[in-house]
DNA sequence: GAGTTTGAAACT
DNA sequence: CAGTTTCAAACTC
């Protein structure tokens, strides 16, 4: 939706133009070869490209027939359909938002596997587009790998992407756009849709989503400006792959599907990095600074995020590049063999968080998968993965002296609320440190508070950025109004089930540009249908207890006993007007 | 910008 | 599984 705006069609036109141009570039044999080169072995990769092409082609041509491909894989078909609708709507320039949120949710019924993939669709309009395009390719006798197909289902919403891509003036085509979870983080956020400005420094990135079922390649076609950025975004399944029926993406192929991004980034990492830092929107992409790991270990944020290192990185001896795809994949596989969840999102968002009501956004809705092990930071600094991910600590955490503003491990689930009271306990020091981290969060608040205005906007709010979202006022502890926000952060993660927190860029980076994505958009059907108890402050459905298994109490960071208390707390909170958009 | 702190990742 | 080392981000000055 980001691309849609008040300007309505005008904007759309620009977008199309841009895309068209990029597409052409991409299509050119030379360019195509370039991209294929590194991925050639990988069907997925190829597919991705194809998808990309299709995507753009679709946009350019304005085709709406993607829909006629119901037979495609579950996620895909629906995606196409939705996408088509979105396009239509967009064309009419009237309901961009619907596209993202309404459309997706509404369409579900028509889809075969809709139930399963619904969540995915929401998150990935972009992918949907891809899917559509893919279909196209198929017609053109281009084989699409299954992997890709799956990917499509997860594709991020097109709406958002377009914006990012489209910025007319943007030199950077960073496609941050879409990104899957991981990408999200990278790409994300930063882009203020309205200001659609891309950080040139963030050329395309390869995103390898470990578990991602969907891979999206944004075509940042403009290679010139982007240094060949082919961004591929992969989205992870909202739910456990097994649940969705989607294969876990450990498949190398899938991994391979990445954005092929540039090989040009290698020069002067420091300069690049510096440039990025100074850049107005440095936050756009993740950048590492690895010196010894060759960017082939989880120490490397890029690698861990499933993306290739890019120009902005200051890494040394980096192997996390398309040219070393095989190495990357092999390493990745090795790591996964050791720990299958190594590349899985670290933050698990509980179902409830996805509630549509802003009020329902609870901080506790998401929790770190493994929990942190902080000893000295009090879980108040980004050293803490929980804190960094914008989620509260849970019983899974082994932290000491937990003061996580998003929720303490001891059970203070609802930071927002409790924070008010508990914060008192927090010494000034803690606060200051917290404030420092959240300095920019405040800005975000407005956006969150007016999700509707912003949401569509976020081209990709995907991503890590959530942290930022938890904005407390920079100067104070989290205001009540912010409570929801806190919770929402998790919501930002596109996937209700899984998110990649680790990639959340520093808050500071995101805050500014961050645009809210409605959680519900991302919320999988399952979650919606069955809201966890926590789900909603406002709405506690009878089914509230039917929480999806994955979201155990532990996930929520609440012990069974605590659950009830938490619930009470939430319920006690009527609603947060500020957070609840009134339109 | 350099140095320190921190905690995850990796290793033993 | 626990302890130690390595690593790079986060943070401080």
Q: How far is the CA of A229 from the C1' of B5 (A)?
A: 36
Which pLDDT score is estimated for A174?
Answer: 37
Nearest CA to the C1' of C12 belongs to which residue?
A433
Question: What average pLDDT does range A395-409 have in this prediction?
Answer: 84
Q: How far is the CA of A141 from the C1' of C13 (A)?
A: 61
A173-230 pLDDT, tens per residue? 333 333 333 433 333 333 333 333 344 344 444 454 444 433 333 333 333 333 333 3
Closest-lying nucleotide for A297 based on CA to C1': B9
Q: What is the spatial distance between Cα A281 and Cα A271, in angstroms, rounded to a whole number?
A: 16
Q: How far is the CA of A100 from the C1' of B5 (A)?
A: 43
- Is residue A288 in a domain? no
Q: Is the CB of A502 under 7 A from strand B?
A: yes
Nearest CA to the C1' of C9 belongs to which residue?
A383
Q: How far is the CA of A383 from the C1' of C7 (A)?
A: 14
Nearest CA to the C1' of C7 belongs to which residue?
A299
Closest-lying nucleotide for A433 based on CA to C1': C11
- Is residue A320 in a domain? no
Q: Helix (H, G, I), strand (E, B), or coil: what is residue A218?
A: strand
Q: How far is the CA of A507 from the C1' of C12 (A)?
A: 18
Strand B: which residues 270-289 of A lie within 7 A (CB)?
274
Q: How far is the CA of A411 from the C1' of B2 (A)?
A: 40
Q: Which two tokens mark A431?
A: 């606060």
Residue A394 to residues A3, A59, A131, A428, A465, Cα–Cα distance (Å): 38, 44, 38, 24, 20
Strand C: which residues 407-436 of A lie within 7 A (CB)?
433, 436
- Is residue A558 in a domain? yes
% of chain A with per-residue pLDDT over 90 = 1
A214: left (phi over 0), alpha (psi -120 to 50) or beta: beta
Contacts of A116 (CB under 8 A, 6+ apart): A74, A75, A239, A243, A244, A245, A525, A526
Q: Quickly state the pLDDT bin for A368 (edges 50, 70, 90).
A: confident
Nearest to A312 by CA among A346, A355, A351, A283: A283
Q: Which of A248-257, A295-304, A571-580 has the highest mean pLDDT?
A: A295-304
Same domain, A360 and A235: no
Contacts of A32 (CB under 8 A, 6+ apart): A26, A49
Same domain, A380 and A498: yes
- Is residue A276 in a domain? no
Residues A464/A185, Cβ–Cβ less than 8 Å: yes
Residue with the two structure tokens 């490209």: A49
- Residue A395 belongs to domain spanning: 347-572
A344-358 pLDDT, tens per residue? 877 776 554 443 333
Nearest CA to the C1' of B8 belongs to which residue?
A299
Q: Which two tokens mark A38?
A: 């590194």
**pLDDT(A328) > 70:** yes
Same domain, A392 and A508: yes
| CA A108 from centroid of its chain's CA atoms | 21
Q: How far is the CA of A248 from the C1' of B2 (A)?
A: 43
Q: Quickly state the pLDDT bin for A133 (edges 50, 70, 90).
A: very low
Q: Is the CB of A290 under 7 A from strand C?
A: yes
A159-182 pLDDT, tens per residue? 333 333 333 333 333 333 333 334
**pLDDT(A286) > 50:** yes
Q: What is the spatial distance between Cα A11 and Cα A196, in angstroms, rounded to a whole number?
A: 11
Same domain, A122 and A20: yes
Q: Is the CB of A376 under 7 A from strand B?
A: yes
Which pLDDT score is estimated for A110?
Answer: 41
Residue ending a domain, among A265, A295, A323, is A265
Strand B: which residues 326-355 of A lie within 7 A (CB)?
335, 338-339, 342, 346
Which pLDDT score is estimated for A287?
Answer: 80
Question: What average pLDDT does range A114-142 have in this prediction?
Answer: 37
- Is residue A240 in a domain? yes
Nearest CA to the C1' of B6 belongs to which residue?
A383
Nearest to A510 by CA among A434, A437, A436, A444: A444
Closest-lying nucleotide for A314 based on CA to C1': C8
Residues paired with A498 in a beta bridge: A348
Which pLDDT score is estimated for A316?
Answer: 87
Q: What is the spatial distance between Cα A432 and Cα A408, in angstroms, rounded to a whole number?
A: 18
Q: What is the spatial distance between Cα A269 and Cα A271, in angstroms, rounded to a whole number?
A: 5
Closest-lying nucleotide for A298 based on CA to C1': B9
A456-469 pLDDT, tens per residue? 333 333 333 333 34
Instruction: Write down the mean pLDDT value for chain A.
Output: 47
Q: How far is the CA of A266 from the C1' of C12 (A)?
A: 30
Residues A137/A49, Cβ–Cβ less than 8 Å: no
Same domain, A368 and A238: no
Same domain, A365 and A256: no
- Give chain C positions with protein CB within 7 A: 6-12
Same domain, A397 and A253: no
Show the DSSP H helices in A124-261 as ranges: 125-139, 146-154, 160-166, 181-187, 223-226, 241-244, 252-256
Q: What is the spatial distance between Cα A272 and Cα A288, in angstroms, rounded to a whole number?
A: 11
Closest-lying nucleotide for A291 based on CA to C1': C8
- Is residue A270 in a domain? no
- Is residue A124 in a domain? yes
Q: Is the CB of A297 under 7 A from strand B?
A: yes
Total domain count, chain A: 2
Q: How far is the CA of A454 from the C1' of B8 (A)?
A: 34
Question: What average pLDDT does range A390-399 have in this prediction?
Answer: 85
Q: How far is the CA of A421 from the C1' of C13 (A)?
A: 33
Same domain, A54 and A187: yes
Residues paired with A23 in a beta bridge: none
Q: What is the spatial distance between Cα A407 and Cα A387, in angstroms, rounded to a whole number?
A: 9
- Give chain B positions with protein CB within 7 A: 1, 5-10
- Is residue A492 in a domain? yes
Residue ending a domain, among A246, A265, A284, is A265
The mean-pLDDT minimum among A302-311, A318-327, A418-427 falls in: A418-427
Same domain, A254 and A352: no
Residue A100: HSE in the Cβ half-sphere, 13 Å Cα cutoff: 35
Q: Which two tokens mark A300?
A: 């490397």
Q: How far is the CA of A554 from the C1' of B5 (A)?
A: 30
Q: Is the CB of A383 under 7 A from strand C?
A: yes
Same domain, A364 and A234: no
Same domain, A354 and A259: no
Closest-lying nucleotide for A371 based on CA to C1': B8
Residue ending a domain, among A223, A243, A265, is A265
């Amino acid at each position: 939706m980001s691309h849609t705006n008040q300007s309505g069609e005008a904007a759309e036109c620009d977008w199309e133009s841009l895309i068209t141009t990029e597409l052409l570039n991409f299509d050119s044999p030379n360019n195509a070869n370039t991209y294929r080169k590194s991925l050639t072995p990988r069907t997925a990769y190829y597919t991705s490209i194809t998808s990309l092409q299709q995507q753009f082609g679709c946009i350019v041509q304005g085709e709406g027939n993607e829909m006629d491909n119901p037979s495609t894989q579950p996620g895909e078909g629906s995606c196409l359909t939705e996408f088509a609708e979105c396009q239509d709507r967009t064309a009419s320039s009237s309901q961009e938002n619907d596209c993202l949120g309404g459309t997706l949710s509404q369409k579900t019924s028509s889809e075969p596997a809709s139930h399963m993939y619904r969540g995915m669709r929401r998150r990935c309009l972009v992918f949907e587009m891809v899917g559509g395009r893919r279909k196209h390719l198929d017609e053109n006798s281009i084989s699409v790998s299954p992997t890709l197909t799956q990917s499509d289902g997860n594709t991020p919403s097109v709406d958002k992407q377009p914006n990012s891509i489209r910025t007319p003036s943007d030199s950077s085509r960073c496609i941050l756009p879409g990104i899957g979870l991981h990408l999200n983080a990278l790409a994300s956020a930063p882009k203020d849709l309205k200001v659609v400005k891309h950080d040139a420094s963030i050329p395309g990135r390869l995103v390898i989503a470990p578990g991602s079922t969907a891979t999206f390649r944004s075509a940042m076609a403009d290679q010139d400006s982007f240094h060949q950025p082919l961004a591929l975004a992969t989205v992870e399944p909202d739910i456990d792959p097994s649940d969705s029926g989607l294969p876990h993406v450990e498949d190398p192929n899938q991994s391979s599907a990445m954005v092929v991004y540039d090989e040009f980034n290698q020069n002067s990492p420091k300069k690049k990095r510096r440039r990025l830092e100074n850049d107005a929107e440095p936050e756009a992409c993740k950048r590492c600074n690895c010196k010894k790991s060759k960017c082939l270990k989880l120490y490397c944020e890029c690698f861990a995020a499933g993306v290739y290192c890019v120009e902005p990185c200051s890494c040394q001896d980096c192997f996390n590049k398309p040219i070393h795809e095989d190495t990357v994949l092999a390493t990745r596989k090795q790591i996964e063999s050791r720990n299958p969840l190594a590349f899985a999102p670290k933050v698990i968002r509980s179902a409830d968080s996805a509630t549509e009501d802003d009020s329902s956004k609870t901080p506790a809705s998401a929790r770190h998968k493994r929990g942190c092990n902080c000893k000295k930071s009090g879980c108040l600094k980004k050293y803490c993965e929980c804190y960094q991910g914008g989620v509260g600590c849970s019983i899974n955490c082994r932290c000491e002296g937990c003061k996580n503003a998003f929720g303490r491990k001891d059970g203070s689930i609802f930071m927002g609320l409790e924070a008010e009271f508990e914060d008192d306990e927090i010494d000034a020091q803690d606060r200051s440190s917290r404030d420092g981290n959240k300095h920019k969060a405040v800005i975000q608040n407005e956006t969150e508070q007016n999700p509707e205005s912003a949401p569509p906007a976020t081209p990709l709010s995907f991503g890590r950025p959530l942290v930022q979202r938890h904005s407390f006022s920079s100067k104070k502890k989290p205001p009540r109004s912010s409570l929801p926000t806190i919770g929402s952060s998790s919501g930002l993660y596109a996937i209700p089930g899984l998110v990649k927190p680790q990639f959340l860029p520093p808050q500071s980076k995101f805050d500014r540009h961050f645009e809210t994505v409605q959680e519900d958009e991302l919320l999988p059907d399952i979650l919606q249908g069955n809201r966890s108890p926590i789900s909603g402050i406002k709405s506690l459905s009878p089914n509230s207890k039917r929480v999806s298994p994955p979201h155990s109490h532990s996930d929520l960071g609440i012990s069974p006993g605590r659950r009830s208390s938490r619930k009470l707390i939430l319920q006690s909170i009527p609603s947060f007007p500020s957070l609840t958009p009134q339109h």
